[in-house]
Structure 1
Amino acid sequence: MRVGLITDDPGHPLLAATAALLAPAHGVQVVDPAAPLGAARDPADVYLLKSHTPAALALARDLEGRGAPVVNSAAATALCQDRAAMAELAVRAGLPFAATRSVDALGAWAAGASLDSPVVVKSRHNRRADLVARAEDTAGLRALARDWPDEPVVVQPFTANSGWDHKLWAIGDRVFAALRRSELSPEGRGPTLPLAELPPGWAELTLRVGEVFALDVYGVDVLATADGAPLIVDVNAFPGIRDQAGAPEALARLALERGRPG
């Protein structure tokens, strides 16, 4: 089977390890996401879409149009780049997702807003070096707005927590977990979390997210609320999933399962 990796970072640990597992018996090709549309005259049997740039999404749509399976699909990947659409779908599906308000331009909204409790402000469009910050009060919100006046954002109430996020990842039906310092309190990585130590039902919740968002490889950021209930604050298509034993094997197996028969 021929497997294409759509990425601008073929040395990423997860991709490199997966490619090494596949290479002895299968062809593995790195595909530049900026390659001209139609450059692949003979599409591979399956593609892994690790890049989320507009060019990568356009390439993935082109390949899908020619019958090539892409993991994750261009549509599912694009949905996860829009945090407002993400929240809307999650709530509609009954997932425990953080209350999310969409704002067209942070500066104009902050000028008239008044906060009586902290909020988390995130760029609406998920990308590298986007905005993810906590505003304690109205003054803090306006300080953010001075730096990001025209940024479309989503705003979520800040949920009191320990400062640790539960990072849950899925590759097909395999779930992985770890603790990570929140982006709002970045003091370093936490340990891998054995699934047996997850609260009851959280692994099943992770797989439910995949069903709702039509994702095969994804991450779910979850906070434990004061009563221990899970609160989803973000969903990511094809995240890094670093340092998780068994992840490359699971990804290699998934690629072969999703590939077209030869």
Structure 2
Amino acid sequence: MRIGLITPEPGHPLLAAASALLTAAGHRVDALVPPAPGDAPRSPEADVYLLKSRTPGALAFARTLEAGGAPVVNSAEATARCQDRTLMAEIALGAGLPFAATRTVGPLGPWAAGRSLPAPVVVKSLRSRRGDLVARVDDRARLRELAQQWPQEPVVVQEYAPNNGWDHKLWAVGDRVFAALRRSELSPAGRGPARPLGRDELPPGWAALVRATGAAFALDVYGVDLIDTGGGAPLIVDVNAFPGIRGQSGAPEALAELALARARA
């Protein structure tokens, strides 16, 4: 089988380990650079493509491959859905998933002007990306500070849900679910390292919730960030297409198996 990697980081630990497994089994793995604007689109050359990139060029390339009949994991459309936090909330809530209530308010600067805050809120960039804005806001002083730093950033606002300050990072590769515990990115002390969790350490029903999320978003490789709002009641705060899944035993094997299964299908 031939597997194509659509990514700027073919040496990423997850991809590198999965590639090594596939190569050792006699398969070919190629890292691909999306064609530049104006270049002729390529016809499908691999049996399956793994899309670990969110750039417009990578998504356009993936759509061209899909139009030619090539399987892409995850699809370009599913990947794009996870970049828009307004759409993310609509899909999740429409599927009956416990997702944080989300309001889209436009550029932060104009919205924050003269705004009062009756309760803590979480302000996030509308477009999910590396280095985006995610911050807890407890008072007008903090809101003004963020508005000065990100005046034209389109944002969404979520009510802050009281929790224990830890994020449950859950990832799925096909039917396999992996998990870790890490301090919330809203924590003043910073996120710190992630601690791997066994499936038996997850509250009942959480693994099934992750799979239901993947089905709602039509994702094959994805991450779901959950917080415990008390008594094991989960709240989804983010969904990611093809996350890093670093340090999870068995994840490279699961990815290699998924790639081959999709190629054969």
Is TM-score (shorter-chain normalized) higher than 0.5?
A: yes
What is the CA–CA distance in structure 2 between the aligned matches of 1:34 and 1:147, rounded to whole Å? Answer: 35
| CA shift for structure 1 position 226 | 2.4
Equivalent pairs: percent with the same residue? Answer: 67
More off after superposition, 235-244 vs 178-187? 178-187
CA RMSD between the two structures: 1.4
What is the CA–CA distance in structure 2 between the aligned matches of 1:148 and 1:32, rounded to whole Å? Answer: 32
| CA shift for structure 1 position 42 | 4.4
What is the CA–CA distance in structure 2 between the aligned matches of 1:145 and 1:45, rounded to whole Å? Answer: 47
Listed one character per residue, the Cα deviations across residues 168-224 of structure 1 (whole Å, up to 9, x for unaligned) are 000000000000121112241131010101000000000000100000000000000
Query: Is contact 1:33-1:51 (8 Å) kept?
Result: no
Query: Is contact 1:69-1:260 (8 Å) kept?
Result: no
Query: Is contact 1:97-1:231 (8 Å) kept?
Result: yes
Could you tell me which amino acid in structure 2 is paired with residue 80 of structure 1?
C
- What's the counterpart of residue 178 of structure 1? 180
- What's the counterpart of residue 130 of structure 1? 132
| CA shift for structure 1 position 33 | 3.5
Q: 1:160 aligns with which of 154, 159, 162?
A: 162
| CA shift for structure 1 position 163 | 1.7
Q: 1:147 aligns with which of 149, 165, 173?
A: 149
1:233-248 to 2 correspondences below 5 Å: 233-248=237-252
- What's the counterpart of residue 31 of structure 1? 32
Any gaps of 5 or more consecutive residues in structure 1? none
Query: Is contact 2:41-2:61 (8 Å) kept?
Result: no
| CA shift for structure 1 position 139 | 2.0
- What's the counterpart of residue 83 of structure 1? 85
Could you tell me which amino acid in structure 2 is paired with residue 27 of structure 1?
R
Listed one character per residue, the Cα deviations across residues 45-101 of structure 1 (whole Å, up to 9, x for unaligned) are 100000111111011001101111000000000000001100011001100000111
Could you tell me which amino acid in structure 2 is paired with residue 149 of structure 1?
P
What is the CA–CA distance in structure 2 between the aligned matches of 1:41 and 1:117, rounded to whole Å? Answer: 53
Could you tell me which amino acid in structure 1 is paired with residue 133 of structure 2?
L
Listed one character per residue, the Cα deviations across residues 210-260 of structure 1 (whole Å, up to 9, x for unaligned) are 100000000000000023200000000000000000000000000011115
Listed one character per residue, the Cα deviations across residues 96-123 of structure 1 (whole Å, up to 9, x for unaligned) are 0001111111111111421021111110
Give the secondary-structure state (helix, strand or coil) at the position aligned to 1:4.
strand
| CA shift for structure 1 position 162 | 2.0
Q: 1:219 aligns with which of 219, 223, 228?
A: 223
Q: TM-score, normalised by structure 2?
A: 0.95
Any gaps of 5 or more consecutive residues in structure 2? none
- What's the counterpart of residue 4 of structure 1? 4
How many residues matched?
261
What is the CA–CA distance in structure 2 between the aligned matches of 1:34 and 1:98, rounded to whole Å? Answer: 38
What is the CA–CA distance in structure 1 between the aligned matches of 2:238 and 2:118, rounded to whole Å? Answer: 24
Q: TM-score, normalised by structure 1?
A: 0.96
What is the CA–CA distance in structure 2 between the aligned matches of 1:236 and 1:141, rounded to whole Å? Answer: 26
